[in-house]
Amino acid sequence: MLIVTNYKEMPLRWRAANGVVGRTIVARSLEDFKEEGEAKDAVFLVNCDPDLTMKLALARLTLPGYRRPLIASDLVLRRPGSGLKAKLIFAAKRFLLSRADLYLNLFKDTTGLTEAYGIPAARCAYIPFKVNLDPGAVATVEKREDYVLCFGRSLRDFDTFFAAMERLPYPGAIAAVKPSDLIGHGARFSRSLDQLPPNVAQLPDDGSAQAQLRMLAGAKLVVIPVLKTSIVASGISTALNAMAVGKCVIGSEGPGMSDIFTEEALIVPPEDPEALTAMIDSAWRDDLLRVRTARAGRRLAVSLGGEAELIQRIIDKVAQAYG
């Protein structure tokens, strides 16, 4: 079996859990997919690239040489924007993005994916994600419990976090950011920086994994408020990283949170300041709840491993479907 993919980290030769053996060829262009996909046992795997997925879907419809199974992995998709132009663009994207044969998602709840893109649950499979921090650095970093940290960018609901922290006496923190930089991530950050709650600090952030680890290590709680419009696992990387560091995670109900975590995270309704306030207050004061949740989260995060383990899970699912 041959996997033709843009995922550069995949091993050149592999063995799946079901015994299927195969190889990988990395494709850097649409023409590469065509050339390498001539093998009869080839499948196309696109990782984290909606644009490439659309190009291959269109090529399969209109050009010879591209008619191989198309697998889309970890696509970050959003609901359509408002306005006629946005809706017309979305209609074209929907037509192409819904044409893959298999979708490997980092979440189980595909309701939003079906509603927005017409992708049926039958063509979806759940792949548990990975920790994106170095295990050695996690093991040696100094851990404290200084603040309630709201971290991440993708579809983050900073407004609800700020509204909750205004009602609480505890110190809070966010990574230093320009609100305008969050627009492309779909986050909601309506305040100017001089209007932040007085108990919410901005922590230095150069965008590195080391900076993220430092901020997570200093947190007593890690809050991941995600907008209710999210249809994918918008906070999964932050959640698993925080869990790996041994922190109690509070997250918004939705894909990639309430559908995959039970005792590993504390779940609140999205865009609900009152519910978030109550959960932060409870977890801050209740040592047993906080520690129990953090320990369960860490057990799960450690069990999932890193990139090598994630890639093996992808290979296993592809081989199961097409091997």
Per residue in 129-165, pLDDT (tens digit) is 999 999 999 999 999 999 999 999 999 999 999 999 9
The dihedral through the CA atoms of 293, 294, 298, 299 has a sign that is: negative
Spatial separation of the C-alpha atoms in residues 7 and 87, rounded to whole Å: 30
Q: Helix, strand, or coil here: 157?
A: strand
What lies within 8 Å, CB to CB, of 189 at 6+ separation is 156, 158, 159, 177, 179, 182
Tokens of 183: 């627009």
Please tell me the predicted confidence (pLDDT) of residue 82: 85
pTM of the model: 0.96
Please tell me the predicted confidence (pLDDT) of residue 315: 99
Please tell me the predicted confidence (pLDDT) of residue 297: 99
The Cα-based distances of 235 to 44, 156, 245 in angstroms read: 27, 8, 16
Please tell me the predicted confidence (pLDDT) of residue 183: 87
Would you say 4 and 43 are in contact if contact means Cβ atoms under 8 Å apart? yes
Please tell me the predicted confidence (pLDDT) of residue 81: 86
Name the residue among 148, 181, 179 with its Cα closest to residue 165. Answer: 148
For the chain, domains (ranges, CATH) are 2-130+306-322 (3.40.50), 135-304 (3.40.50.2000)
pLDDT one digit per residue (tens) for the chain, 323 residues: 999 999 999 999 999 999 999 999 999 999 999 999 999 999 999 999 999 999 999 999 999 999 999 999 999 999 998 889 999 999 999 999 999 999 999 999 999 999 999 999 999 999 999 999 999 999 999 999 999 999 999 999 999 999 999 999 999 999 999 888 898 899 999 999 999 999 999 999 999 999 999 999 999 999 999 999 999 999 999 999 999 999 999 999 999 999 999 999 999 999 999 999 999 999 999 999 999 999 999 999 999 999 999 999 999 999 999 99
Please tell me the predicted confidence (pLDDT) of residue 10: 98
Provide, rounded to the nearest whole percent, the portion of the chain with pLDDT above 90: 96
pLDDT in tens, 246-285: 999 999 999 999 999 999 999 999 999 999 999 999 999 9
Would you say 106 and 127 are in contact if contact means Cβ atoms under 8 Å apart? yes
Please tell me the predicted confidence (pLDDT) of residue 41: 96
